[in-house]
Amino acid sequence: MKILTPSAAELTRGRAATPIAFIRAIVRGYRARGMNPANALQHAQIPSAALDDPAARVTAAQMEVMSGHAMQELDDEALGWFSRRLPWGSYGMLCRASLTSPTLEVALKRWCRHHRLLTDELTLAFCHQRNTATIRITEARDFGDMREFCLVTIMRYLLGYISWLIDSRIALTETCLPFPAPPHADAYPYLFPGPLSFGAEAASLSFDARYLSLPLRRDEQALQIMLQRALPLTVLQYRRDRLLVHSVTQILDSNPGAPHTAEDIAAQLNLSVRTLHRQLKDEGVSLQRLKNDSRRSRAIKLLLQTRKPVKQVASAVGFDSEKSFARAFREWTGVAPSRYRSGAGNP
């Protein structure tokens, strides 16, 4: 299979955010096999002097090229983590094994089960408890100075792949890492947005269980194309979140009378305000429309199921005055709140 790689111009374009520690880990894989990493470093345009600078960073494209060359030259997709090589195409096999799953939950179960065919030196386990889904990694041996890169890459690749499968960003509720915060810990929020815990008992990713029921949106043709540039899945974030509208609606409905600014909602979802507005636009809605829908539903429920005065209903759904509420309600339903109540919802 032909593997597509970034152009020379693309290599150094964009933010250099990937820690040089990950490049050094790849170099260790070469040296463990008695091989020279110079060719891969040259193709990735990474000067050897950068390896000695703990603060150095590389771009996502440079990481992609370095990893790709190393995997092919070492004939090892694990880059030296495990005691035996994982030949080129090993993780592609896992992708194919889960591609025909009806839902993300089934795909995850298949991935964890089939990963044991590649190695028994670490295992992945899927757990679904109440509203949270968790993927936990159990290590069967000491990975030494390859441990961080091994665990981070496996977790990022799996997260990137399942996001690709359902064509959606998966918002993490927690990421646990079983080692102390490294000097380059500031890079981790980029790799794993959301709450982070270092020094945990085991490596794990947790997210909203509602993603599990989403159907897969990819086929074999899409997989063939993705595998030509699969490595970016380990370093780049998926932008679109198919549960975003539902999550925003839950926040709005949980406290209808609150002002619910974009800043407050974005903070609760671990997003920037700009990203929140962009992703809602991608879904064909706006935050204001969702706020209006939530207020309208709550107002109608209070009008029809309680005897609260209209002024109190207005306050309960976040309006400063009865007049502004009445004006908005007429825009929503075509009638005044009092008439809506007397007509039992029939204008």
d(CA 184, CA 25): 14
**106, burial (CB in 10 Å: exposed 0-12, middle 13-18, buried 19+):** middle
- Closest Cα partner for 67 from 145, 122, 11? 11
Q: What is the DSSP string of 98-125?
A: HHT-SBHHHHHHHHHHHHTTT-SSEEEE
Euclidean distance between CA atoms 301 and 316, whole angstroms:
11
Backbone φ and ψ for 286, nearest 5 degrees, come out as -125, 160
Please state the separation of Cα 227 from the chain's center in Å: 19
Cα(187)–Cα(149) distance, integer angstroms: 13
Q: Cα(17)–Cα(191) distance, rounded to whole angstroms?
A: 10
Question: In the chain, which residues have pLDDT < 50?
Answer: 1-4, 346-347
What are 224-264's pLDDT values in tens digits? 877 877 666 665 566 667 678 878 888 898 887 788 999 99
* pLDDT of res. 234: 62
Find tokens 């407050």 and name the residue: 264
